[in-house]
Chain A
Amino acid sequence: MRRRWKLNIGVLTAAVILLLSACSNTSDPATGNTTSPSATDSSTVASGEPKVLKVRFYDDPAGYDPANIFRIENENIAFNIFSGLASYASDTGEIIPDLAESWETDDNMTWTFKLRQGVQWQKGYGEFTSADVLYSYNRILDPATASPYAAEFNNVESMEAPDPYTVVFKLKTPDGNFLHQVANYHQGQIVKKEAIEEFGDQVKWNPVGTGPFAAEKIDPSSEIILVRHDDYYQGPAPIEKIIFSIIKDESTATIALQNGEIDVIMRSNREENLDILEKAGFKMNHVENYAASLKVFNLEHPILANRKVRQAWAYAVDFDAIAEGVSPRLQKGAKSLLLDWMEGYSENTTQYSYDPEKAKQLLAEAGYPDGFTIKQDGTSASGVTEQMQLEQEYLKAVGIELEFDLVDTPTYNEKRNSGDFDVSGRLLPAVNPDMVLFSYLHPDNIAPKGLNGARYNNPVLTEKLESARAEKDSAKRLKLYEEVQQIVMEEVPYLPTYAGNVYWPSKPNIEGIVINKLAQVNFYGVDIK
Chain B
Amino acid sequence: MLSYAMKRIMQLIVTMFGVVTLVFFAIRMIPGDPAAAMAGDNLSGAALEEFRRKLGLDAPLWEQYADYLLSVIRFDFGSTITTSLPIAGLMLKALPITLMVAGFTMLLAVLIAIPLGTVAAFLANKGKKKLDNAITWTAMIVDLMPAFWTALLLMLFLSLNLKLLPASGAVSFEDPSLMLKRIALPVVVLAVSQVATLARITRTAVLEVLNEDYVRTARSMGMSEMVVVFRHALKNAMLPIITIVGLSFGNLLNGTVIVEFIFSIPGIGTLLVYGINSRDYPLVQNVILFYAFVFVAINFITDMVYKKVDPRVQF
Contacts and interface: CB of A to CB of B under 8 A. Distances in A.
A449 B45 CA distance: 8
B262 interface: yes
Given A13-B141, A146-B51, A220 B83 contact: yes
A400 B254 CA distance: 41
Interface stretch (A22-30, A117-125, A134-142): A22-30
Interface in A245-291: 245-249, 251-253, 255-256, 258-259, 261-262
A253 B167 CA distance: 8
Interface in A401-422: 408-411, 413-415, 417-418
A6 B137 contact: yes
A448 interface: yes
A246 B264 contact: yes
B166 interface: yes
Nearest to A252: B167
B242 to A, nearest CB: 29
A62 B130 CA distance: 56
A292 B239 CA distance: 62
B43 A222 contact: no
Nearest to A418: B36
Interface in A128-154: 146, 148
Interface residues of B, number: 58
Nearest to B79: A201
A103 interface: no
Given A14-B141, A23-B161, A414-B32, A261 B266 contact: no
Contacts of B262: 249, 251-252
B167 A261 contact: yes
Contact of A148 (B36, B43, B94, B172): B43
B200 interface: no
A421 to B, nearest CB: 13
Contacts of A219: 266
B129 A2 contact: yes
Interface in B81-104: 82-85, 90, 93-94
A20 B264 contact: no
Nearest to B36: A414
Contacts of B266: 219, 221-222, 246
A246 B51 CA distance: 29
Contacts of B172: 222
B240 to A, nearest CB: 26
A56 interface: yes
A475 interface: no
B47 to A, nearest CB: 6
Interface in A429-460: 448-449
B37 interface: yes
A219 B267 CA distance: 12
Contacts of A321: none
Nearest to A5: B130
Interface stretch (B9-17, B216-224, B269-277, B293-301): B269-277
A201 B84 contact: yes
A333 B69 CA distance: 53
Contacts of B163: 259
Contacts of A68: 42
B160 interface: yes
Interface string B117-134: 000000000000110011
Contacts of B270: 221
B161 A220 contact: no
Nearest to A28: B160
B167 A70 contact: no
A410 B84 contact: no
Given A21-B153, A256-B166, A256-B168, A410 B261 contact: no
A410 B157 contact: no
B21 interface: no
Contacts of A13: 137-138, 141
B145 to A, nearest CB: 8
A242 to B, nearest CB: 13
A89 B145 CA distance: 50
Given A17-B153, A23-B161, A221-B94, A410 B40 contact: yes
A505 interface: no
B159 interface: yes
A436 B274 CA distance: 30
B54 to A, nearest CB: 9
B166 to A, nearest CB: 5
A13 B142 CA distance: 9
Given A63-B83, A220-B83, A246-B264, A410 B167 contact: no
B153 A245 contact: no
A296 interface: no
Contacts of B278: 60, 62, 410
A408 B170 contact: no
A23 B163 CA distance: 14
B157 A2 contact: no
A409 B32 CA distance: 12
Contacts of B141: 10, 13-14, 17
Contacts of A223: 170
B168 A261 contact: yes
Interface string A46-71: 00000000001000101100001010
B258 to A, nearest CB: 10
A243 interface: yes
Contacts of B44: 417, 448-449
Interface string B7-44: 00000000000000000000000011100111011111
Contacts of A201: 84
Contact of A255 (B32, B50, B155): B155
A63 B274 CA distance: 14
A24 B170 contact: no
A203 B229 CA distance: 62
A414 B167 CA distance: 35
A148 B167 CA distance: 38
Contact of B85 (A220, A252, A448): A220
B167 A411 contact: no
Interface of A: 2, 5-6, 9-10, 13-14, 17, 20-21, 23-25, 27-28, 32, 56, 60, 62-63, 68, 70, 146, 148, 201-202, 204-205, 219-223, 243, 245-249, 251-253, 255-256, 258-259, 261-262, 381, 408-411, 413-415, 417-418, 448-449
For the complex of A and B, list the 4 residue pairs with the smallest distance between their C-beta atoms, beginning with the closest.
Answer: A148-B42, A221-B266, A24-B156, A410-B37
Given A13-B137, A17-B141, A245-B170, 20 more contacts: A5-B133, A10-B137, A21-B156, A24-B156, A27-B161, A32-B160, A62-B82, A201-B84, A219-B266, A221-B90, A221-B266, A222-B172, A246-B264, A252-B262, A256-B166, A256-B167, A261-B166, A408-B277, A410-B277, A410-B279
23 contacts: A9-B138, A20-B153, A24-B161, A28-B156, A60-B277, A146-B50, A148-B41, A204-B83, A220-B83, A221-B270, A222-B170, A222-B171, A222-B264, A251-B155, A252-B263, A255-B159, A255-B167, A255-B168, A256-B168, A259-B163, A408-B277, A413-B40, A418-B36
